[in-house]
A = this chain, B = another copy of it.
Amino acid sequence: MFQNLKMVSRVIFGRGSFDQLDALLAEKRRGSQSFMLFLVDDVFSNSQLRGRIPSKNHDLLLWVSVDDEPRTAYVDELTARVRAYSNRLPDVVVGIGGGSAMDIAKAVSLMLTNVGSSADYQGWDLIANPAVYHLGIPTLSGTGAEVSRTAILIGPDKKLGINSDHTVFDQIILDPDLISGAPADQRFYTGMDCYAHCVESLNGTYINAFAKSCAEKAMALCREVFLVQDSDTDEQLMMASFFGGMSIAYSQVGICHALSYGLSFVLGIHHGLGNCIALNSLEDYYPEGVREFRSMMEKQGIGLPKNPLTGINDAKLEKMIDVALVLEPLWENALGADWKSVMTRQKIRELYLRM
């Protein structure tokens, strides 16, 4: 059985296309009592972008904090605030921000129409009801969250996505101008999320011609952005993220992401940086990818924290291994059906301690 890939229904791409948001929402407004829900990264609360958000009348704008990676409790709290605000559903949930804001918007749009806690839905295809129409506007590129079928959350026990066809955005606006203001290190770490997607997809057992051609294009664009061009590369980076996301949507990530999830869960390390730390220790598995990743770091003048696991106690290390091991499809993709005989807890411990 081949996967039936749910694609994002509609895409607008172009510099300044953010300003089409108002017109898009106008088509969706269902009357005078209806409202839009904006979930916006609070880094923009004092920005020029704030004034461009077309919030009006009864619309609800919530600034979301992404200082920490998004947690299920936070998604539940935001969902409760929306329910307290109105007994009707918003016409559209609009997410504006990086991968965390995208995932929060996806998760809230799902939880508004599904009972219980978002933690109940961490896994694969557990969502029962379609989400509220949701629209994503990335302000960082690399995560692929704009096209993926997951909303990755840190829950009580694990970091794991709400993976479902209903998670996929109905509409995205890809405006390269929005990613131009990001700090260089954040831009790099997030871009390397995309690069890791390509390395893991292309070197995985789930690879197929669809995912391969997407990953190859994303990788070529990453090279343009991080190795070749010195001038404006926002458009290429945005397209790299799009294709990298499409690639893993039709294949899977691998060891780098599995280890990165453990780093995020236990140490609170953000996803992009976690991937960079993990990838940097995976020469045995992705030799060419690791070499090129280091060239990109060097060319961009970006560093990694030294010995991020220094002083970690054994209980935390064991928990990191637990979190990584939950991600069975990632290991199977990387190492094949027999991965459990290769990737023991001891082996994962060694990989973590190598960081």
Contacts and interface: CB of A to CB of B under 8 A. Distances in A.
Interface string A204-247: 00001110010011001100000000000001101100110000
A9 B12 contact: no
25 contacts: A2-B14, A4-B20, A4-B171, A5-B10, A5-B13, A6-B9, A6-B10, A7-B7, A7-B8, A7-B9, A7-B11, A9-B9, A13-B209, A13-B210, A14-B208, A174-B210, A208-B235, A209-B235, A209-B236, A209-B239, A210-B239, A210-B242, A213-B236, A213-B239, A216-B217
Given A209-B239, A216-B217, 17 more contacts: A2-B13, A2-B20, A4-B11, A4-B20, A4-B24, A4-B171, A5-B12, A7-B7, A7-B8, A9-B9, A13-B250, A174-B210, A209-B236, A210-B239, A210-B242, A213-B217, A216-B220
Contacts of A24: 4
A294 to B, nearest CB: 25
Interface in A165-209: 171, 174, 176, 208-209
A207 to B, nearest CB: 11
A7 B20 CA distance: 18
Contact of A238 (B5, B176, B209, B239): B209
A340 B256 CA distance: 55
Contacts of A45: none
Copies of this chain, complex-wide, total: 2
Nearest to A23: B1
A10 to B, nearest CB: 5
A14 B2 CA distance: 7
Contacts of A5: 10-13
A57 interface: no
A242 to B, nearest CB: 8
A313 interface: no
Interface of A: 1-14, 17, 20, 24, 171, 174, 176, 208-210, 213, 216-217, 220-221, 235-236, 238-239, 242-243, 250
Given A209-B13, A213-B243, A239-B209, A20 B1 contact: yes
A17 to B, nearest CB: 5
A10 B3 CA distance: 10
A75 B8 CA distance: 30
Contacts of A14: 2, 208, 210
